[in-house]
């Protein structure tokens, strides 16, 4: 099978690019795959530079040249206005082959961001998407985004995953919770506005000095700009219990998850948030989770079962939850063990890959 693969690959590392990399590496084992890399080297949404415009034009030319001579066209679609216009151009170029197209939405906000605000844009998207072969979303709560555009049988729910090397045994999870002094909180994501890292810092600042001494907070990830990084480092300067590790992967990433008791992602990232892979990685590593009811998170997280839900944009809410946890640290281990079991049962990478391959490889063209 010959596949045209249109998606971003790392760098930078995002949930979207990591998932695309996993599927791409699997597909090239069995098929001839033509890659058109949508990665743009930053976290900014949309087309934001002349260089980016030139790259998009090149990608459109690539689609024009290659879309007729393939069996499947896999596209991860955008949630920004300019990105959606680009996707519409993909659909237009591939119009006579739309039954070969599989679109994959890695976010949760395209309806609120685009379709609900611009009915003309919604109608244009519907015109093309109703002719498309298959649509993939991350969770049941995102199913309705496309339910008025395509038959339900062509909308597939494929959850994200945690990579195999991040799974801890129950024994190791129990061992790390025997040592909760300090109680370790991990924030691992891109450090951009809306992900909640600033609120976590402010929550720590709001704790009494006695409680601060009981905690350690580790941050890992990349910033959108050097200025943002400088502001962060200035804000945490002088706090010995706050550590920034930069961009991590491999053994260092595994070690941070393995040592953490709590994973904190209090995100309110516009409407872009889909189903954060980092939360599933925290489950596999035996962490309780602090997060918000945002985007597709509700499909993978239940307050009081997987961890603790906090209000969006609220350092006070995070502070109160941390105080509550310190008052009853014993509640964390059952959550951590349950999360590890949930990751194994629902979010193994093998399940994700098999589901994706079944959709991409199905004989829809006979």
Span 173-211, pLDDT tens digits: 999 999 999 999 999 999 999 999 999 999 999 999 999
Q: Is the pLDDT of residue 332 over 50?
A: yes
Q: Given this model, what pLDDT does residue 53 score?
A: 85
> Span 333-358, mean pLDDT?
97
Q: Given this model, what pLDDT does residue 49 score?
A: 64
DSSP state of 168: P
Span 90-147, pLDDT tens digits: 999 999 999 999 999 999 989 999 999 999 999 999 999 999 999 999 999 999 999 9
Provide the token pair at 355: 């589901």
Q: How many CB atoms lie within 10 A of CB 259?
A: 15
Q: Is the pLDDT of residue 292 over 80?
A: yes
Question: Residue 307: CA atoms inside 13 Å, Cβ hemisphere, count?
Answer: 32
Is 106 within 8 Å of 136 (Cβ atoms)? no
Is 294 within 8 Å of 268 (Cβ atoms)? yes
Is 191 within 8 Å of 12 (Cβ atoms)? no
Provide the token pair at 226: 């050097």
Which of 166, 159, 140 shows the shortest CA–CA distance to 275? 159
The domains found in the chain, sorted by start residue, are 2-161+348-361 (3.40.50.2000), 164-346 (3.40.50.2000)
Across the beta sheet with 183-188, the strand order is 242-244, 215-220, 183-188, 262-265, 288-291, 307-309
């Amino acid at each position: 099978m010959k596949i045209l693969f249109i998606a971003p690959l790392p760098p930078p590392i995002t949930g979207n690019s990591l998932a695309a990399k996993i599927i791409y590496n699997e597909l090239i084992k069995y098929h001839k795959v033509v890659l058109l890399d949508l990665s743009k080297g930053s976290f900014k949404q949309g087309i934001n530079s002349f260089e980016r415009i030139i790259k998009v034009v090149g990608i459109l030319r690539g689609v024009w040249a290659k879309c007729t001579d393939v069996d499947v066209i896999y596209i991860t679609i955008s949630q920004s206005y300019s990105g959606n216009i680009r996707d519409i151009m993909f659909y237009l170029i591939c119009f006579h082959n739309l039954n070969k197209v599989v679109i994959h939405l890695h976010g949760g906000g395209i309806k609120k961001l685009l379709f609900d605000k611009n009915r003309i844009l919604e109608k244009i998207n519907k015109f093309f998407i109703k002719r498309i072969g298959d649509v993939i979303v991350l969770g049941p709560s995102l199913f309705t985004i496309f339910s008025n555009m395509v038959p339900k049988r062509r909308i597939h729910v494929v959850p994200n995953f945690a990579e195999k090397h991040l799974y801890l045994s129950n024994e190791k999870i129990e061992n790390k919770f025997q040592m909760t002094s300090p109680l370790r909180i991990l924030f691992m994501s891109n450090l951009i506005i809306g992900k909640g890292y600033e609120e976590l810092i402010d929550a720590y600042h709001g704790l009494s000095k006695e409680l601060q001494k009981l905690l350690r907070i580790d941050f890992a990830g990349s910033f959108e700009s050097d200025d943002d990084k400088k502001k962060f480092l200035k804000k945490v300067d002088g706090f010995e219990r706050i550590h920034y590790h930069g961009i991590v992967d491999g053994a260092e990433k595994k070690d941070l998850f393995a040592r953490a008791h709590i994973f904190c992602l209090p995100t309110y990232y516009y409407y872009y948030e889909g189903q954060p892979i980092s939360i599933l990685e925290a489950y596999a590593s035996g962490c309780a989770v602090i997060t918000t009811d945002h985007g597709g998170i509700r499909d993978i997280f239940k307050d009081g079962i997987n961890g603790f839900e906090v209000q969006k944009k609220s350092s006070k809410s995070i502070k109160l939850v941390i105080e509550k946890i310190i008052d009853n640290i014993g509640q964390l281990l059952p959550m951590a063990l349950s999360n590890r079991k949930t990751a194994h049962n629902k979010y193994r990478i093998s399940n994700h890959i098999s589901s994706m391959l079944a959709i991409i490889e199905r004989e829809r063209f006979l």
